[in-house]
Amino acid sequence: MLTPGQVLRLLAIQRVLIRHGLDEIIFATHLLRPVRFLLYLLPWNWVRSHQAPRAVRLRRALEDLGPIFVKLGQLLSTRRDLLPEDIADELAKLQDSVPPFPGNVARRIIEKAYGKGVDEVIMEFDETPFASASIAQVHAARSRDGREMIVKVVRPSIEKGIRRDVGLMYILAELAEHYWRDGKHLRPSRVVAEFEKTLLNELDLMREAANASQLRRNFAGSDQLYVPEVDWGLTRRNVMVMERISGIPVNDIDGLRRAGIDLKWLAEAVVESFFTQVFRDRFFHADMHPGNIFVTVPNAGQRARFVVVDFGIMSSLSEYDQRYLAENFLAFLKRDYRRIAELHVESGWVPAGTRVDEFEFAIRTVCEPIFERPLKEISFGRLLLRLFQTARRFNMEILPQLVLLQKTLVNVEGLGRNLYPDLDLWQTARPLLERWLRSRAGIRGLVKNTRENFPLWAEKLPDLPNKLIDLVERARKGKLHVEWQSTEIEKLRREIRRTNRRSVLTIVGSAFIISASLVFALDGFAPMMLGNAPLLTWLLGGMGVVMLFAAYGEM
């Protein structure tokens, strides 16, 4: 049921869609296609001049609808396995930049979070923000001990707007699933649920601070990547304070050259650090676009490092996904398409009943044209995307963490090649992948797994002899019972019981019918012996028919 606020918002959305000529998309839906002729009767279509391409109109409409719809467009731009290429490319241009809210409002939010005046906590606070986005804005500050800091403040009342607009998105997604031809396959409700989760996570700055701290710990002592330090004493759910870093934006190529930065080293460092996050730590920054990366200018005797900021979107892989991802990339390098297909089935990414040979042929068809180009020009991210698009035809469920990985990989590749056009990503990443696989296999992997599991084994070992003695004693006395709980086994047992019942009922029912036939046949020859044969015939035959119906009614 729509609330009054949602009704007004829906009318506002409708006006924006009409203004940008997107009513043609609405009338193209399965529900309204029979009355598509009405599109040409609407007055605003009589004077409509030449229009921009549909993707451009869609991007402009999202920008007019406000920051929450801009965020939705950004999320959709990562789902290239779902969207046409022209729309995905255009949505990728959406900028998460909105007008700032007043600095005195930010000050009041901070004071409410701390329960005291800003000046009592932070020595200096600049009310003029230097960055403003849809969820929060950032202010410069100086701590009481003189450190340069940044203060990130969540927008006032943003959660109410999120819940209103996301509620509308759920309603539209459910309508799409019912009336859009591809709705059930693409599951727009699941996309909206993923979007809602992402937005609500970004509202919690404690979560973002925890992400930053984890990444900083993972790269402590690194000579490539630096992560700013969080001030936990001043961080709250809607206010985050962390170290301020000065640097050159990574897409300022001229500025990097003037600072004497080795662009080849920087490109390789960005790529290598990302693959280290994925294959060493299984925890990666999932929003590594140029606006979130800066390069520090080295002092005498120091080396440049790149700095990442904005930790609202992070992701992780299970060890299972990590292993199959690494093996997939290496199988691609060897063009071992059979192994790629087998890995997808083994990992559960595609249904167990998928025919490996058919999947192998589909992958070969996609990949062979790509490998006609020089290896250094091949994009990891694009290759992964094509694989997802192929696997979707085989009912592969694309997990959110894999979508984020593919999107971030495209960003990292584009960034690396912008810095150094001759960058060979395969050559940079391959040693990391092979090193990771060696650490998980062979003697080294065995030693590592033994070392990691030894504390658990040591805890269980003292009780092992008692359990063995108890097991042997129960077996000797005939009290050992093996219990095997399996839904498939239970289903098989039920089916066997049903089959047995059908067999018994069929045999008995057939016997009654045969008896009835014999009684009917012998009626004229042995009247003395059989008595009232017609009645007995009907009785035996009826019982037989009932039993046969009972038997086959269970099928």
Please answer whether residues 496 and 503 qualify as being in contact, where contact means their C-beta atoms are separated by less than 8 angstroms: no
Q: Nearest Cα to 437, choosing from 274, 328, 360, 337?
A: 328
Please answer whether residues 19 and 56 qualify as being in contact, where contact means their C-beta atoms are separated by less than 8 angstroms: no
Element (H, E) at 143: none
Alpha helices in 348-379 (DSSP H): 356-370
Sorted by sequence, the CB contacts under 8 Å of residue 351 that are 6+ apart come out as: 394, 395
CA 235 to CA 26: how far, in whole Å? 45
**Given the DSSP bridges, would you call strands 306-308 and 225-226 parallel, antiparallel or unpaired?**
parallel
CA 377 to CA 421: how far, in whole Å? 9
Alpha helices in 180-297 (DSSP H): 183-186, 188-203, 205-218, 253-258, 263-276
Question: Could you tell me if residue 208 is left (phi over 0), alpha (psi between -120 and 50 degrees) or otherwise beta?
Answer: alpha
Residue that has been written with the tokens 């467009």 in this structure:
73
Please answer whether residues 378 and 394 qualify as being in contact, where contact means their C-beta atoms are separated by less than 8 angstroms: no
CA 261 to CA 295: how far, in whole Å? 9
Instruction: Show which residues are catalytic.
Output: 287
Residue 237 tokens read as 């759910």
CA 33 to CA 300: how far, in whole Å? 69
Q: Cα-atom radius of gyration of the chain, to the nearest Å?
A: 34
Q: For 304, phi and psi rounded to 5 degrees? A: -65, 150
Give the orientation angle of helix 533-552 with respect to helix 487-522, to 10 degrees: 160
- In angstroms, the first-to-last Cα distance of the chain is 43
Burial of 209-246, coded b for 16+ CB within 10 Å and e otherwise, reads bbbbbebbebbeeeebbbbbebbeebbbebbbbbbbbe
Residue 176 tokens read as 């799409």
